[in-house]
Structures are given as C-alpha cells and as structure tokens.
Chain A
Amino acid sequence: MKIQHRETERHVLTILVDNEAGILAKIAGLFTARGYNIDSLTVADITENHAVSRITIVTNGPPAVIDQIQAQLERLVPVHKVIDLTEEGPHVERELALIKVAGQGENRVEALRLADVFRAKVVDTTTQSFIFELTGAPDKIDSFVALMRELGLVEVGRTGVVGMTRGPEGA
C-alpha cells in the first residue's frame, strides 16, 4: 500500500485569542495532533490591557483541510476569531528578516549594492560583515537571501508572516 499525497494550497490565517497561558501550545499542538502543516507562526499581544493576542499562521493543505483547520481553531474556547486572509481577498503580508553576510572586497560591495536595491537597512557592521534588516513579502526576502548566498551568507533569522486585509475594515 502506498501513502497518497494531495494537492495543497498556501493560506494565511489570522487568529485572535485570549492572551492566556498555554494558548500557543494549544494551537500549535492542534496542528501536530491533526497532522496539519505550519509554514510559519508569529504571535504577540496587541491590546492595551494585554487581553488579546494576534497569531498569524501560514499553512498549506487541500481546500477541505484548510476549512477543517479553521473549524478546529474556532472550536477552542480562547479563540475569538479566525480569519483566512487568503480567502478574504486582497491583503498585505509582511515579514522581517535579519541577514548576516561576511566577506571582503568585491563581494562586500556587491552585497551592499543589492541591499540598497532591496531597501534593506544595515543594522550592524564590521570590516568583515554586515547584518541587514529587510522587511517585505516572503518572496522578496527569499530572493534577497538567495542572492546573499553567493556573497557570503552566514545566517538568517525571519519573523514569519504577519498579514492584514486591505481597505478600511478591521478583523
């Protein structure tokens, strides 16, 4: 018998939750327990009184599974709301990355030149290295990291995606 694999879609989910102990473990655990995928996950508290956190999860799966993920998340008591940004339509996705590149001579100049093209900021520098700070959609960061790989990439740190629907309406 062979295990069958199905076509998957990428979806960005925004989840508003009560900011209580264990909620992140509950959500992350739900994904592992039911065999769902997490491509990235970010979380931070977003209200003045620290009562609500906003979690953004990038996941992938067949459409029926994405619907099931949303239903399973909504079933958790501390979850207020789940928004599938991909389903909602036009939205903004942003990610922040720190990228360390080491090198000398032409490579170093080229790295700086490309950083300028990508509007990356230099946040640390030595005579042998830079740390760039780059914000953008995940694709843009992927491209920049790919270019830096040829120029002495040392390490990359990424926050994962946060997203928001376009237009005046709130979540």
Chain B
Amino acid sequence: MAEEKSGAAILVESLVRQGVEYVFGYPGGAVLPIYDELFSDNRVRHILVRHEAGAAHAAEGYARSTGRPGVVLVTSGPGATNAITGIADAFMDSIPLVVITGQVATNLIGTDAFQEADTIGLTRHCTKHNYLVKDPSELAATIDEAFQIATSGRPGPVVIDIPKNVQVATAMLQDGAPQRRIRYTPQTAGSPDEIATAIEMIAGAKRPILYTGGGVINSGPRATELLRRFQELTGAPVTSTLMGLGAFPADHPDWLGMLGMHGTYEANLAMNECDVMVNVGARFDDRVTGRLDAFSPNSEKIHIDIDRSSINKVVPVDLGIIGDCGTVLEQLIEVWGKRPAADLSEWKGRIEDWRAKDSLAYPTQQKGGVIMPQRAIERLHALTKELEPIISTEVGQHQMWAAQYFGFDKPNKWLTSGGLGTMGYGMPAAIGAQLGNPGRLVIDIAGEASIQMNIQEMGTATQFRLPVKVFILNNEYMGMVRQWQELTYESRYSNSYSDSLPDFVRLAESYGWKGIRVHDGSELDDAIAALIAPDGPVMVDCLVAKEANCFPVTPHDEAKALV
C-alpha cells in the first residue's frame, strides 16, 4: 500500500516509524509546514527549547542516557547555525543525533534569501553524514539511512536539510521500510587471528592495564558487563577516560580512577609503567596522553576501536582491532576460556604504593565554614547514590571535580562534554536525560559561569514539568581559566572573574524553580536534601572556596604531574 503525502507528513510518519518519542526543537519560517504537521499529530512529542543549542544538547543528553538517537528540529539560517555547537559536540563525543534543519525553498537556494545559510557546507565537518533533500520522494529512504548511520558503527550526528517547498510538495509513501541500497556496513568483529594475538599478549603480560573509553558506553550496557567479566578473568587494573566513566565500578579494588590531565597519580603512573596496554574504545586524546614522546614508552599496545581512523592516529599501536567494544570483548572472553589469571601481585603492589600517595586529597579544614568544592561533590554523591542519579556537567573545574569525586558505577549515568568541552552543555543535557528517564533523579553539576551559557533552558524544564536539579559550585571565577592563569601566567587573572552575577536563587524563583543558597559547610547536607526532595526543578547556589585548584594536573606539554 502507498499513500500520497506532503514532505512534512512523510517526515513525521518516518520519525514515528523509527520509534522517536521526542523531538527537541524551535520553530521558524522554513519549518512551518513540519510544525503544522506536528500540531495535529500527537505520536511524536515536541519539546520546545529556548535556544537551538539547547535543543542539540538536550537531544545529546537523551541519547547518552537512553542509548537511543536524539532528534532535533530547527529552522534554516540562525536555527541551524545555533544548533551547530551541539552538533559538533555530538560529533566529538560520538553521540547519535538526527538533526532536521529547514532550508529556504529550492529556487531560492544560493540567492542569499532571508534566513538562508549553507547548512550542508557549515555542518560538513562536524557531522558523520549530511543530506540536502530536494525531492519529497527521497525523504523516507534518506531518513531511514540517516538513523542507521547515526546509530551504527561509531555513532554520530547526521543532518537532514529540507527546503520548505520540499516539505509542502507531495510524494507517495510506501507502507513498511523504504527500499534503499545498504551502503554503510561498519566492521563490528575482530578477526580470529587478531583476537588470538591479543590474548597471547594479555596473558603474557606482567603489568597489564585496561584503558577504557566512551566506546564501551556507546556499545551498550552489555559491553559494560563484558568488560567487568574480562577484567575478572585477567585481573588487570582498570582506568578510564572522562567519557568512559561508569563502565567499571568506582568502588572496585582494581579501579585506578580516571586518567589523563586531571587523572589520579596511580592511573597515570600505571599507564606509564605498564607492559601491555589494552585500549578499549578510547582514542588517545591529547588530554589523556600528555606529551606523546613520554607516553607509556615501554608498553605493547592493543587498540580496540570501531573507527579504523582512530587506530594509529595519534599513538602507533602494536595490534589494532577494528570492531565494536562489546563484540570484541565477547570474542576475547571466549578465547581466554578457562585460563587462570596471571599472578599480578607485584604489579598491584606497586600500584598500591602509588595509590597511597592519595593524589585526590585536598585541604579539608577551612576557616569559617567555607565549603571546599571537592567536599561538596563527595557529599552530593554520598547523599544521592542510593537513588542512582544521572549526572550531567558543564565544562571546567566543577566537571573535573565531579569526574574525580563522584563515584560512578553504572553506564549511561554520566553526561559530559568531553571532546569539544562545551560550556552550557549540562542543563539542556539534564533536560533531555530527564525526559528519557522519567522518575529518575537527574542533577546538573555546574559552575556559575558555565550555567549562564544556556540558563534560558530553565524555562524548558518549567514548561514540561521536568524536575531537573542544578547544583552550582559558585567560586565567582571561570575556575579552570583562573587556575591556568595562576599556574602558567603568574596569576594574571585576565577576564576570568565572574562579575555581575545574577542572584541565582531569585533567578530560579522567577522561572518557577525552587532556589537555595548555601555558603556554610554545616548547611551543605540540608541543602542537598532540599535539592533532591521536591518533585520539581531546584537550583542550589553553593558558594565554595574561591581559589581552590583542581589537582592533580599534568599539563599537556609535560609528562609529570603537578600535585
């Protein structure tokens, strides 16, 4: 059976067929036909954001916390350009998004028409793929392929640019899946030879380490289970990138903590001293490796990645395995079979010595009840862990403190902008996560500077009755910038002071939220209780020590940590 429908109707019908629950968007001239279609169709719920960057980040939060693709709908020109930061963010962190952008009518393309932008050109290098659809008869197959590309292989954002007249024109829509050529078939399993070689290397290792990344999370919850099982078999200690937190439980004795620039001493030393490194779904980011010539110079390296271009891009490896982390871990477990774990007691003894340095220790005694930001995160974790909250963050010191002091033990519960480092990510991401996880506690750990970059999304939470929580570590500085200025520019704090801050409590109230301010350590636990108790959005403005630094830190041009 087939039915003649407008391009806009084909789009909405196709989204329904893909199982899309929510579309995060903002209307405008070039998408009015689609909005008119949504008006009379309640199968897809539209979440009206306050700025298109918020739509993209909300879709990212939804995707990262549910494992399902996030869908964005924005208008042409500024709608599309505003969404680009979120699209680039999703590209760097491998988040599956399908972004629908309106475009001026085909006869106006290239004439500098009102709200025209070359969306395809602008998004070319921050999308996995993009399309300009010039005929409604191509829409159904294009949307079907877009979802396949966004969600399979290394996930990422896909943009579909649809001119206004294509939304209005009609075409036949067939029942069932659209007929199309399958041209995207990423490799998901390693070859038996590679697996056998990997097992030989790992079994023979005296000082092995598992270095895991966002690929484990993207592969799905099963990959997390398999990682834990493989670790049990091999006994290897585990460290993770920022994006991989939650794949391995933070309370496990073989957990080394996060690695990299703000990673623990034991994680970075173990990476440096290991003899076999198994990289599972990480990409040797510069924030992890530091100076390349000093990065783990004496180890044999295995790299498991679904993206072949990640292998040997930055660090040459001895064995690259192209494949999905879950699938390859399963292959490794099978070939490992009943081998006993090697005796790693000497290696673990050395690790314990490094751990004894307690690199995450911080001065706890403060005059006059001043709250240390690290302690605020520790208390937030202690008082909420039973509820298994989803945590999002903005970007900066608070983000690193959250990564260091909030113990993650499950996947899809940690939403942060790792690759692009986008301030303003956290609150919209929390909104998306809350929609995808109704009833779950969702907290955005923020800084007073970052939160202002998408503060307008408070209105979105209010409108859709989303009980998101925002916990601001307020030190009146762009703390990470200030810290670098202190450490490398002799404390010349150029433009890093957060002047003219709003009264966050009254701001929260003006949006219909509850606002709480806390500045004394003795009130901290009560404030956290008040944050999570009510069934509505709450913002806590937690005034913390102003010049606390995020340690340890290994500057990216150094091999040794400053502690």
Please give the residue numbers on chain A whose beta carbons come within 8 Å of chain B beta carbons, in ascending order.
18, 21-22, 25-26, 29-30, 33, 64, 67-68, 71-72, 74-78, 80
Contact = CB atoms under 8 A, between A and B. Distances in A.
B309 A26 contact: no
B308 A26 contact: no
Given A21-B132, A77-B149, A68 B125 contact: no
Interface string B278-313: 000000000000000000000000000001110111
10 contacts: A18-B183, A22-B121, A22-B124, A29-B125, A30-B125, A64-B316, A68-B313, A71-B308, A71-B311, A75-B307
Nearest to B311: A71
Interface string B112-126: 000000001100110
B129 A75 contact: no
Nearest to B134: A21
Given A64-B316, A76-B129, 15 more contacts: A21-B132, A22-B120, A22-B130, A26-B124, A30-B125, A67-B312, A68-B312, A68-B313, A71-B309, A71-B311, A71-B312, A72-B309, A74-B309, A77-B129, A77-B184
Interface string B440-454: 000000000000000
B128 interface: yes
Contacts of B316: 64
Interface string B139-164: 00000000001000000000000000
Given A18-B183, A22-B132, A64-B316, A74 B124 contact: no
Contacts of B132: 21-22
A11 to B, nearest CB: 16
Contacts of A77: 128-129, 149, 183-184
Closest 9 CB pairs of A and B: A71-B309, A77-B129, A33-B125, A71-B308, A72-B309, A75-B309, A77-B184, A29-B124, A26-B124
Nearest to A75: B309
B449 to A, nearest CB: 30
Nearest to A73: B309
Nearest to A79: B183
A76 B132 CA distance: 16
Nearest to B128: A77
A149 B172 CA distance: 62
A71 B316 CA distance: 14
Contacts of B183: 18, 77-78, 80
Contacts of A25: 121, 124
Interface in B405-450: none
Nearest to B125: A33
A25 B130 CA distance: 12
A29 B307 CA distance: 20
Contacts of A68: 309, 312-313
A78 B184 CA distance: 9
Contacts of B309: 68, 71-72, 74-75
